[in-house]
Amino acid sequence: MHFISTRNNAPAATLSQAIAAGLAPDGGLYVPQQMPAPRTLQAGASLAETASMLLQPFFAGDGLEPELPRICAEAFDFPAPLRRLATRNDHVLELFHGPTAAFKDFGARFLAASLSRLRADQARPLTIVVATSGDTGAAVAAAFHGQPGLQVVVLYPDGRVSPRQAHQLGCLGGNIRTLRVAGSFDDCQAMVKQALNDADLQARVPLSSANSISLGRLLPQMAYYAHAALAHQAAQDALLNVAVPTGNLGNAMAAVMARALGVPLGRIVLATNANRVLPDYFGGGPYQARASVATLANAMDVGAPSNFERLRWLYAGDDTVLRAQFVARAVDDEAIADTIAARHRRHGEVLCPHTATAVRVLEQLRASGEAAAHEHWAVVATAHPAKFEAVVEPLIGCEVPVPPALAELLRRPAHAEPCAPEYAALRDTLLR
């Protein structure tokens, strides 16, 4: 299979080329030339086997194809359990059992496993530049740490990530460099995009990205939806609907693609924080990127969701058809806090702020009847609440135990270099 740019102004690329490049040369996002036909998928396989089965058509004919089962085994070496919530027919898909306790570990580990194979025979190291609103950088840094032939430069908005997130970003050292940028996530993302589009720089320092624009992160995220939905259908004979905490739309986009490939998913609902670009668009307004605002669910503080371009491509740019496919709702900080406190008080459930946005949206859909009582829903739990203890603990009035992998990272000393929110500052750093 070949991959083309959403902007139609770049040559078709092989999967390996698309994964290595990150962004297409015309500034667009890589998408499959055509979506593979829906297939009959079997329940009962492991998460890694499900990933391998689902991703096979995308790898067909590529140099990485023979490695796919091993890449999946490396990336999917921790579980993604679907658990029941206290409220009837509601579930939670826990994606936070990886090394940095967020769902981004899946995509980051898959990308690292793929790139390390692609770089095996290259003389010059490849530098991955990654902008993060918190979790991406940590997942990417952990996944690439110690990988030969690969270096990582992480940019994060100083003061806008939780202290534990900041610690995770700066604690690895070695082939990982961490920049704390005196600006917003959108500034960081714009700086990275500019570096990736700077041909002169690329000639001197080979670069790639690891943001959710990267196909190497997007594609594997389909696997946990497939694994959970197939198991649920086999056990309960019910279609799983999902509510996805959404920022850059990478996670939800993977759900959309999984459903297009025949995974038994029902509706896909997008839950955002107060950054309401998507709810406004799906509510009938024009698509209008804007500056992000800081919220309690900081990994979703995104004013220009980068995968929107992919989603629009999948629906051939037809806004009417696209709008009919999704419900998107915004949840403000007050409601996020209230949900965390109330779910703990009533049901003993401990939610991270991102997961809480989607729980809140599902509660609203249940209350209004838009999600009927007999429907089965899963809220996607994108991070472990211990990553956001400063928000969660005061609301629930007790400590959140830290998972062992996270505790190990927090024991290491951390360091980040200051960086101005300007492309020139990043360019200098990359050339140094």
Ligand X SMILES: *Cc1c(COP(=O)(O)O)cnc(C)c1O
Is the Cβ of residue 233 or residue 275 nearer to ligand X in the bound state?
A: 275
Q: Which 252-281 positions form the footprint of ligand X (CB under 6 A)?
A: 252
Is the Cβ of residue 180 or residue 387 nearer to ligand X in the bound state?
A: 387
Q: Which stretch binds ligand X (CB under 6 A): 240-248, 282-290, 313-321, 371-379?
A: 240-248
Q: Which 9-68 positions form the footprint of ligand X (CB under 6 A)?
A: none
Is the Cβ of residue 183 or residue 245 nearer to ligand X in the bound state?
A: 245
Is the Cβ of residue 16 or residue 355 nearer to ligand X in the bound state?
A: 355
Residue in 100, 127, 246, 273 binding ligand X, rule: CB under 6 A: 246
Q: Which 282-301 positions form the footprint of ligand X (CB under 6 A)?
A: 299-300
Residue in 170, 247, 264, 385 binding ligand X, rule: CB under 6 A: 247
Residue in 248, 273, 292, 339 binding ligand X, rule: CB under 6 A: 248
Q: How many CA atoms lie within 13 Å of 391's alpha carbon, on the beta-carbon side?
A: 29
Is the Cβ of residue 13 or residue 271 nearer to ligand X in the bound state?
A: 271
Q: How far is the CB of 324 from ligand X (least distance, A)?
A: 21
d(CA 209, CA 34): 23
Q: Which stretch binds ligand X (CB under 6 A): 4-12, 22-30, 241-249, 334-342?
A: 241-249
Q: Which stretch binds ligand X (CB under 6 A): 242-250, 273-281, 339-347, 368-376?
A: 242-250
How many other β-carbons are positioned within 10 Å of the β-carbon of residue 88? 10
Is the Cβ of residue 119 or residue 259 nearer to ligand X in the bound state?
A: 259
DSSP type of residue 98: S
Q: Which stretch binds ligand X (CB under 6 A): 68-76, 202-210, 250-258, 325-333?
A: 250-258
| DSSP symbols for 188-250 | HHHHHHHHHT-HHHHHHS-EEE-STT-HHHHGGGHHHHHHHHHHHHHHH--PEEEEEE-SSSH
Q: How far apart are the first and last CA of the chain?
A: 38
Q: Which 309-368 positions form the footprint of ligand X (CB under 6 A)?
A: 354
Q: Which 381-420 positions form the footprint of ligand X (CB under 6 A)?
A: 382-383
Q: How many CA atoms lie within 13 Å of 217's alpha carbon, on the beta-carbon side?
A: 28
What helix, strand, coil percent values describe the chain, rounded to 5?
45, 15, 40
Amino acid identity, residue 127? T
d(CA 170, CA 153): 11
Asked whether the beta carbons of 126 and 21 are under 8 A apart, the reply is no
| DSSP symbols for 288-338 | --------SSGGG--SS-TTHHHHHHHTTT-HHHHHHH-EEEE--HHHHHH
Q: Which stretch binds ligand X (CB under 6 A): 70-78, 154-162, 192-200, 247-255?
A: 247-255
Cα→Cα distances 162→138, 200, 292, 386, Å: 12, 35, 17, 11
Stated as kind and residue range, the H or E segment containing 47 is helix 47-59
Residue in 99, 137, 250, 264 binding ligand X, rule: CB under 6 A: 250
Q: How far is the CB of 388 from ligand X (least distance, A)?
A: 8
Q: How far is the CB of 321 from ligand X (least distance, A)?
A: 21
Query: Residue count at the site for ligand X (CB under 6 A)?
Result: 17
Is the Cβ of residue 201 or residue 277 nearer to ligand X in the bound state?
A: 277
Q: How far is the CB of 305 from ligand X (least distance, A)?
A: 7
Is the Cβ of residue 48 or residue 101 nearer to ligand X in the bound state?
A: 101
Asked whether the beta carbons of 197 and 23 are under 8 A apart, the reply is yes
Query: Mask 90-119, x = binds ligand X (CB under 6 A)?
Result: ------------x-x---------------
SS3 readout for 123-167: CCCEEEEEECCCHHHHHHHHHHCCCCCEEEEEEEECCCCCHHHHH
How many other β-carbons are positioned within 10 Å of the β-carbon of residue 35? 14
Q: Which residues make up the interface to ligand X (CB under 6 A)?
A: 102, 104, 135, 212, 245-252, 299-300, 354, 382-383
